[in-house]
Structure 1
Amino acid sequence: MALVTAIGLMSGTSMDGIDLAIMRTDGVSVIETGPSHFVAYDAAFRRRIEASLETAKSVVVRTDRPGGLAEIERDITLRHADAVKAFMNALPPEWREVDLIGFHGQTVLHRPHLGVTVQLGDGALLAGETGIPVIYDMRANDMAHGGQGAPLVPAYHAALARSLPAPHAGLFPVVFVNIGGISNVTYVPETGEPLAFDSGPGNALIDQWVDREGGIPYDAGGAIASEGGVVEQVVDRYLHKPFFRRPGPKSLDRNDFTLAEVEGLELADGARTLAAVSARAIAVSANQMPLAPKLWIICGGGRKNPHIVGDLSEIAQRSGAEVIVAEDAGLDGDATEAEAWAYLAVRSQKALPLTFPGTTGCREAVSGGVLASPFVEGHQSFTPASSD
């Protein structure tokens, strides 16, 4: 299959900014990754996005944009466009011919039981601003086929798992863990399709806690948590919530877990306890996997929290498994999700499956996404990237 050069754009549940990554891929097994970059949102814009989460609760039809959501969607898209232009200007010459953009947008509502997921991001506007075809809205077709609409990264995780270098090549089952605002896991067997589901809170609760209690946007390097201790009763209260008893596939909205359980704790104890919740929620996910993992690979911002990684490592070692961060496997843990969106865009363009029954619960493996072409003679062209 022909190689396509694609930029992937991801703004995750942490709402801290835009991750950009570029790759060449055939959408199957050939993956050549290039440079990546991160553009932070300023504090005021991040607060606007956070405020939009409350507004989005009134959305019934996913295309509705009540109460200022249309305005912030435009602003989010224009920031992505500026980020793409700056990124491309800084690329080495051999990477500047870009064929496609995979655009995630900003999730502000995810209610799979109601068949509604909302990612703010105008693909047509982005295509017009950058002059590059954009594939976006990649979750909707999965939900139309009975899926949860998340997670979508597992297709990329499966490709990575089967191309790991020594000494980690062939250590199956491999579990990729992406720790963003919410954590999700991808179980990759030696043969067959992956299994995946959201495992629980990742960084979001920790970020919310230290921001509210300490006026600090996030716990850099787990420094705050290092001054505190784990309050086991609080961890138990979180892990006894119904979500953890539900079988996968399953997915979470950012608002499904709150700070109610840590009310009254000291700042450091709360941060350390919430890190333990994140780690143990990931570990508990192994109970829903066909075989015990031999290797856990940690991606996303949470891999920089030594308490999350350390707690998970301690638990995994009891079953003889190894926990490594993405860089230990030659991967870029900051860029993995953005790379995934580039990879998924190419799969969408080629009508290859993005999701599988074991990753989202869809009835059958399905592709998805909508293609927005750049302006042609003053008109915007929209074409489904794949048909049902």
Structure 2
Amino acid sequence: MKVYKILGLMSGTSLDGLDLAYCHIWENKGSWKFEIKASKSISYSKEMLVELKDAIGLSAEKLIELHNTYGTWLGEQSLQFIKDHHLEVEYIASHGHTTHHRPEMGLTFQIGSGQHLANVSGIKVIADFRTNDMALGGQGAPLVPIGDRLFFDEYDFCLNLGGISNISFEVKNKRIAYDIGLANMILNYITRKIDLEYDEDGRLASSGAINKTMLKRLNDLQYYLLPHPKSIGYEWFLEEVVPIVEETEDTIENLLHTSIHHVCDKIAQQVKLNTKKKTQRLLVTGGGALNSFLIRILQQKLGRGTEVVIPEKIIIEFKEALVFALMGVLRVEQQTNVLSSVTGAKKDSSSGVLFIPN
């Protein structure tokens, strides 16, 4: 039985840092198993945070320059992590950081050059997981549902609350998944107005009240009317959501409180639309799972029929890095790692590009 020793790297749209998960992954009697052996989150410096946030406005030359320097930085962080934990690593599977995502234009870009990462770390790298799916007519997103199917199939729904909320579930033996809408992206945008990275446990939000005008404007966003497959990126947030926040004159507490109700309204709506049983289990991961006020409001809106399950903290924080490690393994094995039922592509694919260190 082959046990893959692989390091998964993930940087999400919430811009809260780089997640590293060193995993052992193996297949046993047709089922994939995993163990997260070591993990770490590295917060971005203020300079890097600004650089990544503003990357959407860079010229082509400057964007490629950032692509290369960020790939070098990923290699440095990976190498240090490997040394600190005395790890034996066969592959690094890197998602990179999404700077551009325009599925309607067939365009997506994750910075973090796989070749620079491989050269610095001295380890084979699998990266660029989204481009092939887009070339096949897909959205290039979401990708994590392959991990939901292979690692977390005991749950009726898998919900990830990163910068964006996305959900995945089975319908007639097909995995369906899509970006529901907002999550931490709007919350962190609001807290950064008062130089706070995030609202711990939703304490500020819990002391606020609903701004009905803001809630209606958020709930009425056109994206929510689109059928799946669908996905959103930072561009959509800047163009459609930021103006609503900026035009709402209210306290930080009320802005946060309203945003959480909006996020939970939209999640509950999608869960109820796709409910097939009297009782079901919803697994919640991503940074939003640590926001106890958000989870409380979500459970209220879902009602007793849906059990909101918060797993152990290592799964909450590192599930996406774990799944990209799995996607790397599946690519090496030349097995499907991107599902057309999720992305809308012409067919399933084994996506990702292998980079050999020089």
Given the two structures, how large is their TM-score scaled by the length of structure 1? 0.85
Alpha-carbon distance between aligned partners in 2 of 1:254 and 1:37, rounded to the nearest angstrom = 25
Amino acid of the structure 2 residue aligned with 1:200: G
Q: CA deviation at 1:357?
A: 2.6
Q: How does 1:94-243 map to 2 (within 5 A)?
A: 96-162=87-153, 170=154, 174-188=156-170, 192-212=173-193, 214-243=194-223
Deviations 1:188-207 (A, max 9, x none): 46x72321100101101111
Query: Percent identity between the aligned chains?
Result: 29
The alignment status of 1:339 with 2:308, answered yes or no, reads no
Give how far 1:22 is off: 1.3
Q: Conserved in 1, the CA contact under 8 Å of 2:72 and 2:112?
A: no
- 1:90-121 deviation per Cα after TM superposition (whole angstroms, max 9, x unaligned): 32x5xx22111111111011000100001011
1:360 aligned residue:
343
The residue that corresponds to 1:295 in the other structure is 281
1:196 aligns to what SS in structure 2? Answer: strand
CA distance in 2, matches of 1:123, 1:357: 25
Gaps of 5+ in 2: none
Give 1:275 shift. Answer: 1.5
Could you tell me which residue of structure 1 aligns to residue 26 of structure 2? 26
Q: CA deviation at 1:288?
A: 4.9
Q: Distance in 2 between matches of 1:219 and 1:3?
A: 39
Deviation per residue, 1:309-368 (Å, 9 max, x gap): 1111112225x11002122xx862101011111010111111111222321111221111
**What is the rounded CA distance, in whole Å, between the counterparts of 2:79 and 2:303 in structure 1?**
45
State the Cα distance separating 1:79 from its structure 2 match. Answer: 2.0
Contact 1:182 1:254 in 2 (8 A): no
Specify the alignment match of 1:381 in structure 2. none
Partners of 1:78 and 1:227 in 2: CA distance: 43
In the alignment, does 2:269 pair up with 1:284?
A: yes
Equivalent-residue separation in structure 2 for 1:254 and 1:11 (angstroms):
13
Give the Cα–Cα distance (whole angstroms) in 2 for the partners of residues 325 and 19 of structure 1.
19
Aligned to 1:39: 42
Moved over 6 A (4+): none
CA distance in 1 between counterparts of 2:335 and 2:215 reads 41
Spell out, residue by residue over 1:53-102, the C-alpha distance to the aligned partner (whole angstroms, 9 max, x if none).
Answer: 223xxxxxxxxx615112222232222112111211232x5xx2211111
Q: Describe the SS at the equivalent of 1:326.
A: coil
Aligned to 1:16: 16
1:71 aligns with 2:76: no
Matched, 1:314 2:300: yes
Q: Deviations over 1:95-152 (max 9, x none)?
A: x221111111110110001000010110001111111100100001111111100010
Deviations 1:289-310 (A, max 9, x none): 3635711111111111122211
Contact 1:280 1:311 in 2 (8 A): no
Structure 2 counterpart of 1:265 = 250
Is the partner of 1:251 in helix, strand or coil?
A: coil
Is the alpha carbon distance of 1:219 and 1:307 closer, same or farther for their aligned partners in structure 2, counting shifts above 3 Å? Answer: same
| Helix, strand or coil at the partner of 1:308 | helix
Letter of the 2:188 counterpart: D
The size of the alignment, in residue pairs, is 349
Partner of 1:194, secondary structure, is strand
**Aligned-pair RMSD on alpha carbons?**
1.9
Q: Tell me, yes or no, if the aligned pair for 2:82 and 2:88 is still in contact at 8 Å.
A: no
Contact 2:33 2:151 in 1 (8 A): no
> Which deviates more, 113-122 or 248-257?
248-257
Q: What is the CA deviation profile of residues 244-299 of structure 1, one whole-angstrom value per residue up to 9, with x for unaligned ones?
A: 11121110012313232232121110011111222222222225536357111111
The alignment's TM-score, normalised by the length of structure 2, stands at 0.92
Task: Describe the SS at the equivalent of 2:83.
Answer: helix
**Where does residue 62 of structure 1 map in the other structure?**
none
* Preserved contact between residue 247 and residue 288 of structure 1 (Cα < 8 Å): no
Equivalent residue letter for 1:210 = T
